[in-house]
Every structure is written in C-alpha cells, then in structure tokens.
Amino acid sequence: MTGDPDHSTGTATIAIAVEADDWGGALPDCEALIEAAARAALAGTCPELPANTIVSVLLADDATLRELNRVWRGQDKPTNVLSFPATETRAGAVPERDFAGVPLELGDIALAFETCRQEAQVLSKPLADHVAHLAVHGVLHLLGYDHIEDADAAVMMNLETVVLARLGIPDPYLSGDTVDG
C-alpha cells in the first residue's frame, strides 16, 4: 500500500492499495485518479449514499487478476477489472448497511495494470481515461448495475458516459471500448 490509503472526504472512503509498482510509474497520480472516478460514480448514481461508506480498490498486475478471475469467475485469464460487491444492492437503489453504526462496505474493485495499459494502447486513448472508465464501471457493479442483459448494459453504459463526461473524459464507447469485468 502506498501513501495514505484513507482518502475519506464526505460520506465515502476510497481505500486504495497499490500492489504493482507499474501503476505509479505509468500514472504517478493513479490514486487521485481512482479516487476521483470512484467518487464521481458514487455521486452520479447514488447521491443518498449512507455516511461511512467504504469502497476498496486494488491496483494490481495481470497475474493477480488472472488468479482472482480463475478463482471467482472460473476464467483462467487476466482481465481489466473485477468487482466484488459486499452488499446485495439493486441497481438504482440506495445500499443499506447491515448494522447501525457499522460502516457500509460496498465491496472491492481490482484492476490489472498490463491489461489496462494494453487496452488503452489498442484503443489509442490515454491510460488515465481508460483506468477512470474501469474504476467507474467497477463502482457501478458494486451498486448493483450489470451488463448481462442488453437493456441493463445500455443503462450501465449511459451512466458511465455521463459520469465520465463530468470528469472531462470522452465517451469511451465511441472508441470501441469494452469492459470484461
């Protein structure tokens, strides 16, 4: 873990662990970028978020995400982002804590450096924009959104586009961007 992992302001804490050194070399402000993207996703989709909400983010490498993907999804390959919701939140609903006075843990997000970098290069887009997109995507999964059905995918893609626009990032789907996790 690098720096101060407790990036709390307002009602959410974005706890970030940087496990792969490449993140800092390629994106020196990776923690600030992830925090801004996660906060924008939370604010843009769940403005009534309970106080003391926690989102954990792991910035890892392909080997780590490959193992997580194998164990949790049965897919023995690296992927760009994985989300592990800790609550059973319905898309568009306000997540609720299990016990009064206990922080609401929305869940965990993990990103793979090498896959993210390669995808950004293939798409000819800044790595920071691609990573912000994946962070927003991950937070939406923690809030109950998914892209299994076409109608749900359209809702999720629209939310991502709106949140990213607020961050000054162009619509990722215009460049052919896709998200695995």
Residue 9, pLDDT score = 38
Distance CA 137, CA 177 (A): 12
Residue 180: inside a domain, yes or no?
no
The per-residue pLDDT for range 100-127, each reduced to its tens digit, is 778 889 999 999 999 999 999 999 999 9
Whether 82 shows a pLDDT value over 80: the answer reads yes
Percent of all residues in the chain with a pLDDT value above 70, rounded to a whole number: 91
Whether 181 shows a pLDDT value over 80: the answer reads no
Location of structure tokens 């970028």:
33
Residue 179: inside a domain, yes or no?
no
Specify the pTM: 0.89
The domain that contains 79 carries what CATH number? 3.40.390.30
Domain enclosing residue 122, as ranges: 12-174
Residue 25: inside a domain, yes or no?
yes
Residue 181: inside a domain, yes or no?
no
Whether 128 shows a pLDDT value over 90: the answer reads yes
Residue 86: inside a domain, yes or no?
yes
Residue 93, pLDDT score = 83
Residue 1: inside a domain, yes or no?
no
Long-range contacts of 124-130 (CB under 8 A, 24+ apart): 124/175, 125/172, 125/175, 125/177, 127/26, 127/27, 128/27, 128/29, 128/33, 129/164, 129/169, 129/170, 129/172, 130/172, 130/177
Lowest-confidence pick of 9-13, 27-31, 43-47, 137-141? 9-13
Q: How confident is the model at residue 4 (pLDDT cuts 50, 70, 90)?
A: very low
Residue 162: inside a domain, yes or no?
yes
* Mutual angle of helices 30-45 and 150-166, in 10-degree steps: 120
Residue 83: inside a domain, yes or no?
yes
75: left (phi over 0), alpha (psi -120 to 50) or beta: beta
Domains in the chain: how many in total?
A: 1
